Amino acid sequence: MPSTDRLKISLVQLNPTVGDIAGNAAKLTDALATARGQGADLLVTSELFLAGYPIEDLVLKPAFLDAIEQAVEGLMAETASGPALLLGAPWRHEGKVYNAALLLDRGALRAVRFKHDLPNYGVFDEKRVFAAGPAPGPIAFRGMRLGVMICEDMWTPDVAETLEESGAQMLVVLNASPFEADKQDERIQLAVQRVQESGLALLYVNQVGGQDELVFDGGSFALDRKFRLQVQAPSWREAVVATEWMLDDDERWVVEPGVMTRPEEGLAAIYQAMVLGLRDYVTKNGFPGVVLGLSGGIDSALSAAVAVDALGPERVHGVMMPYRYTSTDSVEDADQASDLLDIELRSIDIAPAVDAFGGMLANAFAGRDSDSTEENLQARARGMVLMALSNKFGWMVLSTGNKSEMSVGYATLYGDMCGGYAVLKDVYKTTVFALARWRNAHRPVGALGPEGAVMPARIITKPPSAELKPGQTDQDTLPPYDVLDDILACLIERDMTAAAIVARGHASEIVMRVWRMLDRAEYKRRQAPPGVKTTRRAFGRDRRYPITNSFQGG
């Protein structure tokens, strides 16, 4: 019989910085004080919070693990007067390193549980750095037996089944689950399955914040034994949320209704992911601001809007770099966009640089017609200007290319691809248009940018163009974006065959052309800057293809 019939458990979703062990511990000390004020018996963190997530090969350094152990000693002392702390951290045991949950209570380390199911797909490489723990048993706490799982342990039924069979009375899941569009629904559905199978209520704690290309959206929650969502923490921001648990008439632990924050979905969620990812990349890496080419096109306008919402207008610097093919409309649209966002816009004419390079190469190119070489000189001159401003003022160059362009190589190495971060890297062009329309109609929660429209309507409605030669549009080179993006999604996210894509109504010659463009552009993508992951399969760690690749696939 339990020694109590009621417990208060606070969940804490915070934004850690990878490697900042002292800073992360200080955040936890503050959270413990907040939970103490809530009357909590226990505070539960996200996965590997003390180290930050993902830590990758940092965890292989003995000095790093020494620092983790020292920080845990300090946090133990913080629990002397309550509440207890269920902490995610890397942990050494018998010569191996584990992804662990540590129960610190009344000034001591009371229990340790190791992650059993290590993911090794997509962005996850945990088998590279961690040992898999045994199937866990429950942890006794204040008369309750906690069934502790760590992230992937919840995604299959085995661990929950083992915990229920060994006497667990509730499930507690520590997570660092990266954002993807519509992933929150998937998390909740998997949690519902574990509740159905085990008959146990479940508490799910997720990380929040950006780490390189990954963004964590928070949205922690609690489900009762009847699969009802009883607590929903906010998405995209830090929070310490109290939950109350009691024994029901069947001697089962149940969670009472508590905070319910409606999660953002669809375009709003994607936009928030881009804002948080950029804000944390710039801020955690110590950049004073960003600089980007503001061309009057939709990609640069949306990138600038995200940057202003993330960092504030005073930290965003736009540059219009006209050449003889730059239209008057583009100059006007860039001016108006900068006015709407209240950002600095300077104009730097690239004609002297492009003409100088043309003159330098005239003899070498004698007898050959102009082609994309001369177009690329313009893009590379613009890249040189942006990198010079970056070097002089310390601003990070924000690249503006989108996933459609990155997929098919419609971008110039050392030109428009140069930069420190690409906020649209995992956003298809059709979604870029949708996000631009959405942002003109909505100001996101927590945004530092203005109310109302952030770009003139003409930027959204005019045909996209790189403006590298007279009368140029993207569709001179690429299929219409609705066609291109559907084919790309079939190839990248779904790994469909050419025949299956043709069966969707696409012309065979277009499918095979896009397939070849996608494969040929791999060498460019290897040299691209990082960017926010928003889809199920982003370029980089999610999708790893050989550069030298003769498979035709069709």
pLDDT: is 185 or 389 the higher one?
A: 389
- Looking at every residue in the chain, the average pLDDT score rounds to 93
pLDDT (0 to 100) of residue 549: 85
User: Residue 171 pLDDT more than 80?
Assistant: yes
Topology, domain 267-525: Rossmann fold (3.40.50)
User: Residue 214 pLDDT more than 90?
Assistant: yes
Q: Is 115 annotated as catalytic? A: yes
Query: Which position among 27, 78, 115, 244 bears the catalytic label?
Result: 115
pLDDT (0 to 100) of residue 397: 97
Query: Which position among 151, 180, 405, 429 bears the catalytic label?
Result: 151
pLDDT (0 to 100) of residue 1: 36
User: Residue 113 pLDDT more than 90?
Assistant: yes
What angle, rounded to 10 degrees, do the helices at 266-284 and 429-441 form?
Answer: 90
Contact in structure between 154 and 190 (CB atoms under 8 Å) = yes
Q: What is the pLDDT of residues 289-333, one digit of tens each?
A: 999 999 999 999 999 999 999 999 999 999 999 999 888 998 999
Residue 452 DSSP SS3: coil
Cα 99 to Cα 109: distance, rounded to the nearest angstrom? 16
Cα–Cα distances (Å) from 288 to 213, 306, 315, 504, in that order, read: 20, 16, 7, 47
Q: Is 151 annotated as catalytic? A: yes
pLDDT-based confidence at 474, cuts 50/70/90? low
Q: What is the pLDDT of residues 237-274, one digit of tens each?
A: 999 999 999 988 777 889 999 999 998 899 999 999 99
Contact in structure between 340 and 318 (CB atoms under 8 Å) = no
Cα 270 to Cα 458: distance, rounded to the nearest angstrom? 23
Q: What is the pLDDT of residues 23-60, one digit of tens each?
A: 999 999 999 999 999 999 999 999 999 999 999 999 99
Output b/e per residue, 187-196; b: 16+ Cβ within 10 A: bbebbebbbe
Q: What single string gives the DSSP state of each residue in 125-156? A: -HHHH-PPPPPPPPEEETTEEEEEEEGGGGSS
Q: Which of 97-111, 283-297, 410-424 has the lowest mean pLDDT?
A: 410-424
Cα 318 to Cα 301: distance, rounded to the nearest angstrom? 10
**Rg of the chain (C-alpha set):** 26
Instruction: Count other Cβ atoms within 10 Å, centred on residue 345.
Output: 17
Average pLDDT of the segment spanning 165-191: 93
Q: Is 152 annotated as catalytic? A: no
- Which of these, 313, 217, 199, lies nearest to 261 by C-alpha position? 217
User: Residue 121 pLDDT more than 90?
Assistant: no
Instruction: Count other Cβ atoms within 10 Å, centred on residue 517.
Output: 18
Contact in structure between 252 and 366 (CB atoms under 8 Å) = no
Residues facing 399 on adjacent strands = 422
Q: What is the pLDDT of residues 507-536, one digit of tens each?
A: 999 999 999 999 999 999 999 999 999 998
pLDDT-based confidence at 554, cuts 50/70/90? low
Query: Which position among 27, 47, 152, 264 bears the catalytic label?
Result: 47
Per-domain residue ranges for the chain?
Answer: 6-262, 267-525
Domains 6-262 and 267-525 share a fold: no
Q: Tell me the CATH number for domain 6-262.
A: 3.60.110.10
pLDDT (0 to 100) of residue 59: 93
Contact in structure between 422 and 400 (CB atoms under 8 Å) = yes
Average pLDDT of the segment spanning 467-492: 82
User: Residue 473 pLDDT more than 90?
Assistant: no
pLDDT (0 to 100) of residue 2: 43
Task: Report yes or no on whether pTM surpasses 0.75.
Answer: yes
